[in-house]
């Protein structure tokens, strides 16, 4: 494929990851159609501001609609006729899914089904879709590998993402649409979601308010800086699943042009060290409420990045010592504090 001037549809373009992926594509000269319903799950103003960044490009346009509304979605998709689709739209939030599971059915299941159906009809060269490291659930063998069994999700959010992977595999097998599902590992950085730990902790520490730290901070996460993740997603567009594995550890299906792949750094960080990096960037100590482990929470995540490296020759590498200060600087500038 040529590296520029492809027609690429990005669902969830006003989201955190969606903005960075769409911007990277626009910088390469692609035509990008963003799809987003600007839901009020969190501050819509932040989504509008992200969209404004993208709207400054002449090769971008956005359609404001919900992907679970096929009557609105189908004509926009078919009129654009994308060469590549990057499906990032979803109801996010691990903890929110515990109390509001019904909200995950429309976007994550019905909406993703609509994406698959439209891909079946229009046959893009490659369909790429976001999954989650939460899918590894109760697995305890580290690092998490794409070929591991993922039969123990701990939240309904993770379950819906696992179901989407399975639906995608069936469509790839039945209709021959090449698909790559990427499992994101704790993405962070400027323009991040207000419901995520980095945003909440930074805001609270600046204000001198306490932060809730679960399992008394005895957790470890594979943090992935958002610009690194977007770079990996864009590079993966050219890694179209075929019939030949790239390594013995390849997750490539034996019966479909379908692959799952981790996007993480493979260098997990203790939660208390992450908080210390925020404290250093803010210049204030955190007041911590040390609490028990929450339902649905996992103690550790760690990505195997061998397959990602084999496919694109690249893995995320920005350490939290650099990424966290970048977020804090953005937060202070954006909110004037």
Catalytic residue positions, numbered: 157
Query: What are the tokens at 110?
Result: 């019905």
Dihedral sign, Cα of residue 170, residue 171, residue 176, residue 179 = negative
Helices marked H in the chain: 16-27, 44-55, 70-80, 96-99, 102-104, 112-122, 156-175, 197-207, 226-236, 271-282, 306-312, 320-335
Structure tokens that stand for 90 in this block: 């979803």
Q: What are phi and psi of 150, to 5 degrees?
A: -125, 60
Cβ proximity of 239 and 311 under 8 Å: yes
Place of tokens 């509304």: 69
Dihedral angle of Cα 106, 112, 117, 121, to the nearest 10 degrees: 130
Written as six digits, the tokens of 169 are 């595999």
Among left, alpha and beta (phi > 0; psi -120 to 50; other), residue 287 is beta
Q: Is the bond into 143 cis (omega within 30 degrees of 0)?
A: yes
CA dist 204 to 135, 278, 282, 316, Å?
29, 11, 11, 28
- Token pair recorded at residue 261: 């792949």
DSSP letter at 144 equals: B
CA 116 vs. chain centroid, Å, equals: 18
Residues 6+ apart with CB under 8 A from 158: 94, 132, 134, 135, 137
Beta bridge partners of 33: 9, 61
């Amino acid at each position: 494929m040529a590296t520029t001037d492809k027609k690429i549809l990005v669902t969830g373009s006003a989201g955190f990851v969606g903005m960075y992926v769409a911007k990277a594509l626009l910088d390469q000269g692609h035509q990008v159609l963003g799809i987003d319903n600007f839901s009020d799950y969190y501050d819509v103003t932040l989504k509008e501001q992200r969209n404004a960044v993208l709207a400054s490009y002449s090769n971008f346009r956005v359609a404001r609609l919900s992907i679970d509304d096929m009557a609105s979605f189908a004509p926009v998709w078919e009129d654009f006729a994308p060469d590549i689709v990057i499906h990032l739209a979803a109801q996010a939030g691990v903890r929110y899914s515990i109390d509001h599971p019904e909200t995950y059915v429309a976007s994550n299941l019905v909406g993703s089904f609509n994406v698959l159906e439209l891909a079946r009809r229009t046959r893009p060269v490659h369909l790429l879709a976001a999954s989650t490291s939460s899918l590894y659930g109760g697995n305890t063998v580290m690092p998490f590998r794409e070929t591991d069994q993922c039969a123990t999700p701990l939240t309904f959010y993770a379950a819906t993402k696992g179901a989407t992977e399975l639906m995608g595999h069936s469509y790839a097998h039945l209709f021959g649409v090449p698909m790559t599902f990427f499992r994101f590992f704790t993405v962070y950085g400027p323009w991040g979601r207000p419901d995520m730990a980095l945003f909440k902790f930074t805001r609270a520490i600046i204000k001198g308010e306490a932060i809730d730290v679960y399992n008394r901070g005895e957790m470890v996460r594979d943090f992935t800086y958002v610009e690194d993740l977007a770079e990996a997603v864009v590079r993966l567009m050219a890694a179209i699943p075929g019939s030949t594995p790239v390594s013995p550890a390849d997750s490539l299906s034996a019966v479909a042009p379908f692959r799952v792949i981790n996007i993480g750094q493979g260098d997990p960080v203790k939660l208390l060290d992450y908080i210390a990096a925020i404290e250093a960037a803010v210049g204030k100590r955190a007041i911590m409420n040390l609490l028990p482990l929450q339902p649905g929470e996992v103690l550790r995540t760690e990505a195997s990045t061998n397959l990602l490296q084999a496919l694109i020759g690249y893995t995320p590498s920005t350490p939290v010592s650099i990424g966290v200060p970048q977020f804090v600087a953005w937060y202070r500038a954006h909110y004037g504090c």
